[in-house]
C-alpha cells in the first residue's frame, strides 16, 4: 500500500492551479457595460415616470374641462327652458287676447248688420218720388259703412299690437311713408328690434325697406294680400312671422 502512495510534493513543486492556462473573463468590461446599462435604464425609468405624470396631469385637465363643459351646457339648457316657458306663456296670452278681440269684433259686426237691416227696411218704405234720391243716399251710406267697418276693425287691431305685441309706429322721415317697429321677435333678445316701412302714397301699398333683410318674394306675397283685403292686421301678422323666422336663422 505504501508503495502505491504518490510522492509528497515539495515546497518548490508547482500546484495544479499554477499549471492551468490563464483565462481573461473580462470582468472589468462586463462591469463597465453593466454600469452603462444601469445609467440608461435609470434614465429610461425617469423618462417613463415623467411621461406618465404628464399624461396623468393632462388626463386630469381633460376631465376637468369635460366637467366644466357639462356644467355650462346644463346651465345653457336651463336658460333655454326658462325662455321656452316664457315664450309659451306669451303665446298663450296672445291667443287668449286674440280670441277675446275676435269675439268683440264679431259682436260689433252683428250689431252693424242689424242696423243695416233696419235701415234697409226703412228705405224700402220711402215714396217712389224720392227713389232716385234714396238710391244716391244708399250708395253714400254703403260706402260710409264700408269705411267705418274697416276703421272699427283696424283701430282695435292696432291697439292690440301696440299694447301687447311691442309694435311701435313712427314716421319714416318721408311723406306718405310709415315705419312699423317690432320687438319680442327674437327669443334670445326680446328687446331687439325689427322694422319695415310701408309706402301709402298710391292705392296699392308697397314695402319700402325692412330690417333684418327678408326674402323679397315672401314680402311681396304679404303685400299682395294686404292690397286684396285691405286688412292691416293680416299684414302685421305676416311681417312679424317673417321677422321671427329671420331672427331664428
Cα–Cα distance between 143 and 96 in angstroms, integer?
33
Distances (CA, A) of 199 to 24, 57, 214, 233, 236: 113, 66, 17, 16, 14
Q: What is the pLDDT of residue 57?
A: 93
Convert the pLDDT of each residue in 194-239 to its tens digit.
Answer: 999 998 888 888 888 899 999 999 999 999 998 888 888 888 889 9
Answer yes or no: is 196 within a domain.
yes
Whether residue 143 lies inside any domain: the answer is no
What pLDDT is recorded for position 138? 63
Q: Burial-class residue 239 by CB neighbours within 10 Å (0-12, 13-18, 19+).
A: buried
What was the pLDDT predicted at 233? 84
Please give the residue range of the domain that contains residue 189.
166-249
Domain annotation covers residue 172: yes
Instruction: Establish if 217 belongs to a structural domain.
Output: yes
pTM over 0.75: no
Looking at residue 208, which CATH number applies to its domain? Answer: 3.30.457.50
pLDDT digits (tens, 9 = 90+) for 112-168: 888 889 888 888 887 777 877 787 556 444 433 443 454 445 567 677 777 677 788
- pLDDT tops 80 at residue 4: no
| 244 is a domain residue | yes
Q: Is residue 180 part of a domain?
A: yes
% of the chain surpassing 90 pLDDT: 26
In 3D, which of 134, 154, 130 has the Cα closest to residue 142? 134
- Domains in the chain, number: 1
Which ranges of the chain would DSSP assign to H, the alpha helix?
16-19, 27-124, 131-164, 216-229, 232-248
Residue 157 belongs to a domain:
no
Amino acid at each position: 500500500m505504501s508503495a502505491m502512495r504518490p510522492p509528497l510534493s515539495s515546497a518548490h513543486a508547482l500546484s495544479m492551479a499554477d499549471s492551468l492556462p490563464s483565462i481573461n473573463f473580462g470582468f472589468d468590461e462586463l462591469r463597465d457595460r453593466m454600469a452603462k446599462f444601469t445609467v440608461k435604464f435609470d434614465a429610461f425609468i425617469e423618462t417613463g415616470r415623467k411621461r406618465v405624470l404628464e399624461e396623468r396631469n393632462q388626463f386630469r385637465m381633460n376631465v376637468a374641462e369635460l366637467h366644466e363643459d357639462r356644467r355650462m351646457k346644463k346651465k345653457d339648457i336651463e336658460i333655454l327652458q326658462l325662455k321656452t316657458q316664457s315664450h309659451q306663456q306669451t303665446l298663450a296670452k296672445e291667443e287668449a287676447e286674440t280670441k277675446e278681440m275676435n269675439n268683440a269684433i264679431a259682436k260689433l259686426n252683428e250689431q252693424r248688420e242689424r242696423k243695416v237691416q233696419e235701415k234697409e227696411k226703412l228705405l224700402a218704405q220711402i215714396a217712389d218720388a224720392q227713389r232716385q234720391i234714396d238710391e244716391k243716399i244708399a250708395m253714400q251710406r254703403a260706402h260710409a259703412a264700408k269705411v267705418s267697418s274697416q276703421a272699427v276693425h283696424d283701430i282695435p287691431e292696432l291697439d292690440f299690437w301696440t299694447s301687447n305685441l311691442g309694435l311701435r309706429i313712427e314716421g319714416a322721415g318721408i311723406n306718405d311713408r310709415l315705419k312699423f317697429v317690432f320687438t319680442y321677435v327674437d327669443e334670445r333678445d326680446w328687446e331687439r328690434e325689427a322694422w319695415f316701412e310701408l309706402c301709402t302714397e298710391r292705392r296699392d301699398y308697397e314695402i319700402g325697406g325692412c330690417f333684418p333683410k327678408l326674402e323679397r318674394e315672401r314680402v311681396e306675397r304679404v303685400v299682395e294680400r294686404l292690397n286684396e283685403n285691405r286688412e292691416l292686421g293680416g299684414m302685421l301678422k305676416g311681417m312679424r312671422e317673417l321677422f321671427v323666422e329671420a331672427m331664428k336663422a
